[in-house]
A and B are shown apart, each in its own frame.
Chain A
Amino acid sequence: MSEKILSRNFGVKDSHTLKVYRETGGYTALAQALGREPAAILDEVKKSNLRGLGGAGFPTGMKWSFIPKNHSGPVYLVINADEGEPGTFKDRYLLERDPHALIEGMIIAARAIKSALGFVYIRGEYVEPWRRFTAAVREAYDAGYLGQGFDIVVHRGAGAYICGEETGLISSLEGKKGWPKVKPPFPAIKGAFGQPTIVNNVETICCVPHIINRGAAWFAGLGSKTQGGTRMYSVSGRVTTPGVYEESCAITLRELIERAGGVSGSGRLKAVVPGGSSAPILAAHEIDVVMDVDGLRNAGTMAGSAGVIVFDDTVSIPEALMVVARFYAHESCGQCTPCRESTGWIYKMCHRIVEGKGRKDDLDTILDVAKRGAGTTICAFYDGAVGPYISYIEKFRGEFEALCQR
């Protein structure tokens, strides 16, 4: 079991308060960072191999370095706390139990990218995390950590998954409908309110104080070759002890399921979704995979948001796909034709398959429309839906065919 870094205080009473955070070493990294040049902080983060933990796994230091060097206007830091990926709940833990870690990380990150204003976009349904976090922001203002050249605005979402997509989030933050924007330009060049903007996940930024305190080499050493640090895995479904587990990125999926007490239900594993609902499914025999970005990519799926959903062999894969398809049909923003129309139709077809009204050629029709639309849309939402459509059907085709007898 690896050292607890981000979750070290989760069991401590009143861990969300400034008092406890300070007693456990909080805001010491900030003091150090204030003595360093922005370029030095950026360099440290680059060397740490920190990668974005919201889903895309993009190297954080490299993203920061995209901010135009000679920009004269404001630069914004936006924290994506719109944690909506089904099977993912680790940011919620961080906001509720260690909100000051995010605030400290933001102040340091802001120094690196020369930003004076940060926004934290919190999922609308996250009421308690929002309360805890805003209370922590107040404490940080009172203590003088905030308001000294860096301010934080907390913004609540209103229940749309698409606002977790970074450009959709920016649209929503700007007061518009949460529609993703065409890239390029990328947010680092032209983001919120037309200014250079870095959008980072909660967990990613929570790592930053530790990198400053204990050095890039230490952080890089915690993980795999290409991804530094530990990761907060949300483990749910048919496991004995669901919850958030902080582990090295070098852990295998099999080990992770064991950490969560092993498969529950029938006790016989059928499949695992390793990185949130958008990650292609893995069959039981594919779980000896290393859980870092590259390991899962090589296995044909993705680390995504590290939401691990475990299916025992009593779970119907067609029913599971119907639930997933309903989610994507409901959450498509509707902007791009392939996504809007395909998600609607695929849900309709999955539904009729589960009802036993499927036609033999339905499976190939779904695969054809899914594959044709992949990569054609403004944002990655539809690609995220295509992952499960294709992998569920291709890996468990027999189960589907059994339902399509017409």
Chain B
Amino acid sequence: MNVNVAAERMKLTVDGRTVEVRPGATVLDAVNRLEIALPQLCKDHDRAPLGACRTCLVHVEGVRGVPAACHLPARDGMVVSTEHPDAVRVRRGVLDLTLSMLTPSAERDGFGQLGGAAERHELARPTWTPLHQAPIDGSKSFFVLDREACILCGRCAVACDDVQHIGAIALLGRGHAMKVGVARGGAMATSVCTSCGQCVATCPTGALRPKDAAAPIARRVETTCPYCGVGCGIELGVRTDHRLAVMADDVPVNRSSEGMLCVKGRFGTGFVHARDRIRTPRVRRDGRWHEVGWDEALDAAADGLARHHGRFGALASAKATNEDAYVIQKFVRAVMGTNNVDHCTRLCHSPSVEAMLVSMGSGATSNSYQDYEEAGCLMVVGADASANHPVIAIRFRRAMKRGAKLVVVNPKRVELCDQADLWLQPRPGTDVMLFNAMARVIVDEGLADADFIARRTEGVGAWHTSLSEATLERAAAVTGVSAEHIAQAARWYARPPVSGSCLIWGMGITQHTNGIHNAHALLNLSLVAGQLGRAGSGISPLRGQNNVQGCGDSGCIPTNLPGYQKYDEPTLRHFEREWGLRPPAMTGKVVTEMVEAFLSGEIQAMYVVGENPLLSEPDLHHAEKAFDQLDVLVVQDLFMHETAEQADVFLPAAAFAEKEGTFTNSERRVQRVRKAIDPAGDARPDWWITAELAKRVARRLGRDVSTQFAWRSASEVFDELARLTPFLGGLSHARLDREGGLQWPCPTADHPGTRFLYGETFPLGKARFIPALQTAEAAELPDPDFPFLLNTGRLLYHWHGGTLTRRVEGLMELAPRLEVAIHPSDARRLGVDTGAPLRVSSRRGELTGYARVTEAVRPGALFVPFVKLADSAANFLTNPAFDPASKIPEYKVCAVRVERLTAA
């Protein structure tokens, strides 16, 4: 059938001008298309109209009265006037009433959109006086609620409830007694508000406004958030004084975040301007730092590293760009002659990646965020998405609103538990038994996807035999979860009420000595139920760092070349042709092994980029000893952190807002990072620094790299990465600028990108069931000396170790000190209340924190976030025992004791 495109358009006349709109458009859409200034106070430009402010009134020929344009359907042939005397008269009356609600104040810079509309309607002074007065609520760290500037348009309530699904603020009461507020009428800080700022961004009058002084914005730059792996689009405001505005805007067209942001993305970019940014290269001589020029610093670093060719390791940064990562691994492999290059995935998702590689042949999230929303069941295991991936948590809440079942598996009562249909609270370390029992329910009750298993998998027989022990009764006894709940979770997962199921997991699965078994147990579950490879289903390890996906993709792992290519002869030859130097064929060391190799002397020089292992490694005292053994340590970063303090050379790097590049997020979407401001001081982009270093080391080693490391821009680096990585082959900076972020695999320039993996086949051909066995629950369990079980994790207001977020004042205000979550029964026994100082110690170290008495943890368990606050960090306590297969340390379980400290 031929579709007549012209017939799908409607022609209207607005103020004598003709405009075309699509069916379904409103008259306001037509007005806005012509850029006619018509007030629309309650309309967020990327949300449906609310229709409450009644200021977009227009005159329409043949229509009685003055309808509101925002919900008047446009019709072909309509003749609309925004300037008709009736419309202007009535609109002016409504604006007058609106303006009358507000109390002018010197503290404010006008009334935003309302001020402009009033001016255009020649309303200098309103007829009425405000019916209410109210003091400013300044209880939140980043913004205020100033009700005397509020016109009750409702946009903030929609932002909180319908966009973020948080529901902290609402329009309370009714009629002219109505006001914006929180439950029980308290201050904003008493509510469940997460400071995401979605309300501040949409407020048309400045009633909700940032606390920092409004500075003129010179330009806005769209880029990608530097915090977690969700990869939200953010728009940085660059002020006329070349600093970033405290508040970044959201990007509605970004397909990963759809205009949503969390507190860190919205308000957390200020670390770029931190006073202690290192702006000049430094070299340590006679135990003291000396500020030097780039040549001197790079030569000093090159001298040191060249001495240890082959006895060298590098830790790349999952915070830096794909381009930065690519250059580092090329330097390590081509110049330093080793595959000893790794990044922080070792400490978070290496068991997931290893297990997925073994079972399926690819180590990435199979689905897109969109699939969470289309799923009928979401099973979230060992992940606190509300704190660590807040925008993904919004997707979960949206799915639930549409009727999806949420099953949360977590020993700790994370926020999602309160929203879940079912919360399973297994004993830490018993996950394999739990998921094997679920798998058995699926098989025994005939819920398995027999067709999928037959066509797409192998090894089901041996695996099925391995489940013999995992009866419901036994699983209930081992895990502490009732048989009924295990079975219910299995049924919902295998046969959701609609669509498919998504399996989502975090560090709670991986950071165990049996991490890889845990991961396999989950993967087997997805295979037996056939819940991957189509819309609304999939397997998702939630990635912690902004570019942890991309850092691995670009080759910063010791086991594979860029694009997860193997060290086989044809590939090595291909890289040799491209690079002029042959990468070594032997698998390198992972970061935990590198640290051990410092002690044995196998590694004597280390290049650490954008990482702080002396905060993130387990058992920090031990790690410090290992770092002491190094002959040469070169650190490249923004700040002088714990590891940098030990370095011989410090190379100051540009921050995300100061350079060009790309990040790849958890849904494999490659997105642009753009330069908004010049680097601080003499700081330089990481790829440039590494390339300069590589050239200098090569010269000292007598290798010819004249045609290599000669890029003139990040875009050229990306082109080389894309040329060598088949699944990125169709991407370039220019294409990403044109089309927005795209999801790999995207092998050719005309390929649209890939929403979900494994639709037809697995990289291995068929996926493999790998029997997973329940081993000892943990390497170290409570005993009479150390009777508590310590669990670690993260906080919403701090990011990982806190290197960035500690430098954002407003975030520090929201979470100023290290809190130790303790169950009320234990707190009673110790005689402590919330806020009491505590000392927590393990066999390896101790920390000081403050009690937070909560039922979120079990009796006998403690939770401490691994952020370092006031010199206390959880990793002084944690156990370096690691999973033999993936080498991940067991951060999630160790034994500690806790004592009350008398206040000094």
Residues from chain A with a CB closer than 8 A to the CB of B71 are 182, 184
- The chain B residue sitting closest to A345, CB to CB, is B128
A128 on the B face (CB < 8 A): no
| Chain B residue at minimum C-beta to C-beta distance from A341 | B97
Assess the B152–A334 pair: CB atoms within 8 A.
Answer: yes
Partner of A184, one of B73, B89, B152: B73
In-complex Cβ contact of A375 among B65, B151, B175 (8 A): B65
Question: Is A337 touching B175 in the complex (CB atoms < 8 A)?
Answer: no
Q: A182-B71, A337-B54 are in contact. Are A345 and B131 (CB under 8 A)?
A: yes
| CB-based contact B174/A332 at 8 Å | yes
Q: Provide the residues of chain A in CB contact with B175, threshold 8 Å.
A: 329-334, 340, 343-344
What residue in chain A is nearest B86 (Cβ atoms)? A372
Min CB distance, B49 to chain A, in Å? Answer: 8
State whether A334 and B90 are in contact (beta carbons under 8 Å apart), knowing that A341-B97, A377-B54 are contacts in the complex.
Answer: no
B100 A341 Cβ-Cβ under 8 A: yes
Residue of B nearest to A331 (CB): B175
Within 8 A of A (CB), among B362-392: none
Known interface pairs A375-B65, A376-B57, A377-B54; A341-B176 also in contact (CB < 8 Å) = yes
Chain B 79-106 residues near chain A, CB threshold 8 A: 89-90, 93-94, 97-98, 100-101
Report if A140 contacts B (CB, 8 A).
no
- Whether the Cβ atoms of B97 and A376 lie closer than 8 Å is no
A343 → B minimal CB distance (Å): 7
Q: Which chain A residues numbered 295 to 349 have a C-beta less than 8 Å away from chain B?
A: 329-338, 340-345, 348
- What chain B residues lie within 8 Å of A369 (beta carbons)? 93, 97
Q: Indicate if B173 sits at the interface (CB-CB under 8 A).
A: yes
Question: CB of B677 within 8 A of chain A?
Answer: no
Q: Is the CB of A340 within 8 A of B94?
A: no
Q: A26 within 8 Å of B by Cβ?
A: no
Contacts of A182 in B (CB 8 A): 49, 51, 71
Q: Which residues of A contact B131 (CB under 8 A)?
A: 341, 344-345, 348
List of B residues within 8 angstroms of A343 by Cβ: 175-176
With a CB–CB cut-off of 8 A, which chain B residues contact A334? 152, 171, 173-178
Interface string of A348-372 (1 = CB under 8 A from B): 1000000000000000010011001
In chain B, residues 52-69, which have Cβ atoms closer than 8 Å to a Cβ of chain A? 52-55, 57, 64-66, 68
Interface assignment of B154: CB less than 8 Å from any CB of chain A: yes
Residues of B within 8 A of A345 (CB): 97, 128, 131, 176
Pick the contact of B94: A177, A333, A338, A344 (CB < 8 A): A338
User: Does A6 touch B at the CB level, under 8 Å?
Assistant: no
In contact, A337 and B151 (Cβ under 8 angstroms) = yes
Asked if A373 is an interface residue, CB under 8 A from chain B, the answer is yes
Please state if B97 and A338 are interface contacts (CB–CB under 8 Å). Answer: yes
Contacts of A117 in B (CB 8 A): none
Residues of B within 8 A of A332 (CB): 174-176
Q: Which of A184, A340, A373 contacts B178 (CB 8 A)?
A: A340
Given the complex, which residues of B lie within 8 Å of A341, measured CB to CB?
97-98, 100-101, 128, 131, 176
Query: Quick one: given A329-B176, A343-B175, A344-B131, are A372 and B100 in contact (CB under 8 Å)?
Result: no
What's the Cα separation between A333 and B97 when bound, in Å? 16
Q: Mark A138-180, 1 if CB is under 8 A from B, else 0.
A: 0000000000000000000000101000000000000001000
A380 part of interface (Cβ distance < 8 Å): no
User: Measured between C-beta atoms, what is the minimum distance from A372 to chain B in Å?
Assistant: 4
Min C-beta distance of B447 to chain A, whole Å: 28
Whether the Cβ atoms of A372 and B93 lie closer than 8 Å is yes
Q: Chain A contacts of B54 at CB under 8 A?
A: 336-338, 376-377
A378 in the interface (beta carbon within 8 A): yes
Please, how many angstroms separate the alpha-carbon atoms of A375 and B55 in the complex? 13
Give complex CA distance A183, B39 in Å: 21
> Are B94 and A373 in contact, with the CB atoms below 8 A?
yes
Question: Which single residue of chain A is at the shortest CB-CB distance from B101?
Answer: A341
- Among A162, A330, A335, A376, point to the contact of B68 (Cβ < 8 A): A376
Of B52, B55, B94, B100, the contact of A335 (CB 8 Å cutoff): B52
CA distance A377 to B70 in the complex (A): 12
Tally of contact residues, B, Cβ under 8 A:
34
In the complex, what residues of A have CB within 8 A of residue B174's CB? Answer: 160, 162, 331-334
Cβ of A72 to closest chain B Cβ, rounded Å: 16
How many A-B contacts are there with CB distance less than 8 Å?
A: 93
Residues of chain B from 123 to 166 with CB closer than 8 A to chain A in the complex: 127-128, 131, 151-152, 154
A330 to B178, CA, bound (A): 11
Q: What 0/1 pattern do residues 743 to 783 of B give for CB contact below 8 A with A? A: 00000000000000000000000000000000000000000
- Measured between alpha carbons, how far is A334 from B179 in the docked complex, in Å? 9
Neighbouring B residues of A373 by C-beta, 8 Å: 90, 93-94, 97
List the B residue with the shortest CB-CB distance to A340. B176
Asked whether, in the complex, the Cβ of B68 is within 8 Å of the Cβ of A337, the reply is no
- Closest chain-A Cβ to B391's Cβ sits at a distance in Å of 25
Interface pair B66/A376, CB less than 8 Å apart: yes
A322 to chain B, nearest CB (A): 16
**A235–B657 Cα gap in the complex (Å)?**
73
Please, which residues of chain A bring their CB within 8 A of the CB of B171?
177, 334
Nearest-neighbor residue (CB-CB) of B130 within chain A: A341
Interface of chain A residues 218 through 238 with chain B (CB within 8 A): none
In the complex, which residues 163-192 of chain B have their Cβ closer than 8 Å to any Cβ of chain A?
Answer: 171, 173-178
CB neighbours (8 Å) of A368 from chain B are 93
- Residues in A with CB closer than 8 Å to B176 are 329, 332, 334, 340-341, 343-345
Instruction: Give Cα A160–Cα B175 distance, bound, in whole angstroms.
Output: 11
B100 to chain A, nearest CB (A): 7
- A348: B residues at CB distance < 8 A: 131
Q: Which residues of A contact B178 (CB under 8 A)?
A: 334, 340
Chain A, residue nearest B175 (CB): A332
Return chain A residues, CB-CB under 8 Å to B101. Answer: 341
Chain A residues within an 8 Å CB radius of B128: 341, 345
Q: A341-B176, A344-B131 are in contact. Are A372 and B89 (CB under 8 A)?
A: yes
A142 to B90, CA, bound (A): 57
Residue of A nearest to B128 (CB): A345
Per-position contact with A for B635-674: 1 when CB-CB < 8 Å, else 0? 0000000000000000000000000000000000000000
Measured between beta carbons, the chain A residues less than 8 angstroms from B51 are: 182, 336, 378
Give the CA-CA distance A377 to B178 in the complex, in Å.
Answer: 17
A340 CA / B132 CA spacing, docked (Å): 13
CB distance from A380 to the nearest CB of B (A): 12
Contacts of B65 in A (CB 8 A): 374-376
When chains A and B are docked, how far (Å) is the Cα of A160 from the Cα of B173?
11
**In the complex, which residues of chain B have a beta carbon less than 8 angstroms from the beta carbon of A365?**
127
Chain A residues with CB under 8 Å of B64's CB are: 375
Q: Which of B57, B93, B101, B173 has the most CB of A within 10 A?
A: B93
- Chain A residues with Cβ below 8 Å from B177 are 334
Bound-complex Cα distance A362 to B54 (A): 24
Q: Considering the chains assembled together, what is the distance between the CA atoms of A376 and B151 in angstroms?
A: 17
- Nearest neighbor of B49 in chain A, beta-carbon distance: A182
CA distance A75 to B675 in the complex (A): 55
Give the Cβ gap from A335 to chain B, nearest Cβ, in Å.
5
0/1 string, A366-406, CB within 8 A of B gives 1: 00110011111110000000000000000000000000000
Q: A344-B131, A345-B128, A376-B57 are in contact. Are A337 and B173 (CB under 8 A)?
A: no
**Given the known A-B contacts A329-B176, A345-B131, A378-B52, are A340 and B73 also in contact in the complex, defined by CB atoms under 8 Å?**
no
Q: Which residues of A are interface residues toward B (Cβ below 8 A)?
A: 160, 162, 177, 182, 184, 329-338, 340-345, 348, 365, 368-369, 372-378
Q: List 15 A-B contacts (CB under 8 A).
A: A182-B51, A184-B73, A334-B178, A335-B154, A336-B53, A337-B55, A341-B98, A341-B100, A341-B131, A343-B176, A345-B97, A348-B131, A369-B97, A372-B89, A373-B97
What are the nearest 5 A-B pairs in CB distance?
A344-B176, A334-B178, A372-B93, A375-B65, A332-B175
**Extra A-B contacts (11), CB below 8 Å, given A182-B51, A341-B131, A376-B57:** A160-B174, A184-B73, A333-B175, A337-B52, A338-B54, A340-B176, A341-B176, A348-B131, A369-B97, A373-B93, A373-B94
Which B residues lie at the A interface, using CB under 8 A? 49, 51-55, 57, 64-66, 68, 71, 73, 89-90, 93-94, 97-98, 100-101, 127-128, 131, 151-152, 154, 171, 173-178
